[in-house]
Amino acid sequence: MKFIHLADVHLGAVPDRGTAWSGSREEEIWTTFRRIIAGIRENPVDLLFISGDLFHRRPLRKELREVNSLFAAIPETNVYIIAGNHDHLDAGSAYRSFKWAENVVFFDSEEVMCIDDDRMPVTVYGFSLCENEIREPLLRDVCPEEGDGYHILLAHGGDEKHVPIDFTALASAGFDYVALGHIHKPQVIVKDRIIYPGSPEPLDRNETGPHGYVEGFTDDDGIIHTRFVPAAARTYEDITLELDEETTQNDLEDTLSDMIAESGLQNIYRVVLTGQRSPDLMLLPEKLKNCGNIVDIRDESRLMYDLEMLEKKYAGTLVGDYIRYFSLKDTTEVEEKALDYGLQALLETSMR
């Protein structure tokens, strides 16, 4: 038996609104999904599990028709779908009245239903979310029925606001595989048994690292094994640039451009500036954004001032008072920045 486990595709999402690449990202989410289905047509699997949030919002009929036609093109694969919190099944949901292709099973109830696969010795359990927020631990007493074959559960949620899950209890409930959805970064709860595959494409800047789906298969002894298959067109990466007293704006731009060239021009980056910079450096973080797809720059660098020495040197004058004012307490990031800004302004305009 071979299966593919997808979740949190979020078709229709528009990541990084306001950036130059936002529109392509919206398209890439669809393209990657189509590519995965096309891959199944080439190398058919027996089962395709989609553990919720296939759509970013409640789907429209035309969107369902679109994905349904894709599923119809892989008739050898039985597709099992549940709705997640984003595409939840409300009263007017297009999911409710949609007629799916023969090989598609949509779980249209909040109660856990179970369905015997018509080709494989597999019983699939699943339920859909009917509201965005569900604080009930709906999975608490769910366990497989008696019977041979594999018992596979599809579920969406796992945090406080979305069907909290007691993973220890779930691990001992007796399912052969639990295909989870909701967490966008791939996460293995129990190896080969309970897995969040994550979104095939990352959806925002916090979802760094590889993205894709999970492929499962049984070995000769009938034991299920899984592996993660990267599928994302691009990833979000963090870059930290450490400044020192010699660093110039040019250096920063060159280093950043090189690092981006090395780890992929197509990728999207969050940049953090750390270290100590010279007061002479006219730092223009906004200009760094021209070095690639940079979604965010966080400047945590400090001015290269020896505060203790300066406080002593300027004791009894405004500069001394200023340093002392900020050093008397635990400073927040804004206060640290204020200290640097004010000190720099006072010292640089000083006629000493």
Partner 1 sequence: MLIKKITIHNFGKIHNRTFDLSEGINVLYGENESGKTTVHTFIKGMLYGIPRQRGRAAANDIYRTYEPWENPGEYGGTIWFEAGGMSYRLTRNFSRERRFGELLCEDTGALVDPDEGALDEILGNVSEAVYDNTVSVGQMKSVTGQNLVRELQNYMAGYEGSADSTIDIERASQMLKMTRKGYQVQENRRKKALEAEQIRIRSGIGYLEEEEKKLQKREKAIRHRMKEMSPAGEGENAFDVKMQKMQQNAQTYLLLSVIAAVLPVIAAIVLKQPAFKVCSAAAAVLILVFGVFKRNSALREIDRIGEYKAKWEERYAKMSWDLEHTKQALAEKRSAIENMQEELDEGEDALYQESSEQREIKALSLALETITALSGNINARIGMHLRTRTSRILSGITGGKYSVVLMDENLKMAVNTEERVVPLERLSRGTLEQIYFALRMAAGELFCGDTPFPVILDDVFGSYDEDRLQALLRWLHNEDRQVMISTCSGREAELLRGDGIPFNEILL
Which residues touch 166 (CB under 8 Å, ≥6 apart)? 137, 139, 140
Question: Residue 242: what are its φ and ψ, rounded to 5°?
Answer: -95, 120
- Count Cβ neighbours within 10 Å for each residue of 92-127 and write b for 16 or more, e otherwise: ebbbeeeebeebbbbbbebebebeebeebebbbbbb
Amino acid, single-letter form, for residue 47:
L
Q: How far is the CB of 126 from partner 1 (least distance, A)?
A: 22
Give the contact letters, 244-283, x = binds to partner 1 (CB under 8 A), - = no: -xx-------------------------------x-x---
- Using the rule CB under 8 A, which residue among 42, 316, 328, 329 binds partner 1? 316
- Using the rule CB under 8 A, which residue among 18, 191, 220, 227 binds partner 1? 18
Stretch that binds partner 1, among 3-11, 233-241, 251-259, 325-333 (CB under 8 A): 325-333
* Residue 348 is a binding residue for partner 1 (CB under 8 A): yes
Q: Which one, of 189, 195, 162, lies nearest residue 53 by Cα?
A: 162
CA distances from 46 to 40, 41, 187, 253, 301 (A): 9, 11, 23, 50, 53
Q: How far is the CB of 91 from partner 1 (least distance, A)?
A: 9
- Using the rule CB under 8 A, which residue among 70, 114, 224, 346 binds partner 1? 346
Stretch that binds partner 1, among 33-41, 65-73, 163-171, 326-334 (CB under 8 A): 326-334
- Using the rule CB under 8 A, which residue among 319, 327, 329, 330 binds partner 1? 319
Please, are residues 201 and 230 in contact by the beta-carbon 8 Å criterion?
Answer: no
Q: How far is the CB of 272 from partner 1 (least distance, A)?
A: 11
Structure tokens at 94: 């297009």
Q: Which is nearer to partner 1, 120 or 346 (CB)?
A: 346
Stretch that binds partner 1, among 136-144, 176-184, 234-242, 341-349 (CB under 8 A): 341-349
Binding residues among 59-98 for partner 1 as defined by CB under 8 A: 59-61, 92-94, 97
Q: How far is the CB of 179 from partner 1 (least distance, A)?
A: 26
Chain Cα centroid distance, residue 104: 26
Please, are residues 29 and 10 in contact by the beta-carbon 8 Å criterion?
Answer: yes
Stretch that binds partner 1, among 55-63, 170-178, 179-187, 218-226 (CB under 8 A): 55-63
Please, are residues 216 and 3 in contact by the beta-carbon 8 Å criterion?
Answer: yes
- Using the rule CB under 8 A, which residue among 133, 135, 318, 327 binds partner 1? 318
* Residue 227 is a binding residue for partner 1 (CB under 8 A): no
Burial of residue 89 (number of CB atoms within 10 Å: 0-12, 13-18, 19+)? buried
Pairing of strands 268-277, 104-106: unpaired
State the Cα–Cα distance between residues 303 and 279, nearest whole angstrom.
Answer: 6
State the Cα–Cα distance between residues 126 and 113, nearest whole angstrom.
Answer: 6
Give the contact letters, 186-225, x = binds to partner 1 (CB under 8 A), - = no: ----------------------------------------
Interface with partner 1 (CB under 8 A): 17-18, 57-61, 92-94, 97, 245-246, 278, 280, 285-286, 296-299, 304, 309, 312-322, 325-326, 333-335, 337-339, 341-342, 345-346, 348-352
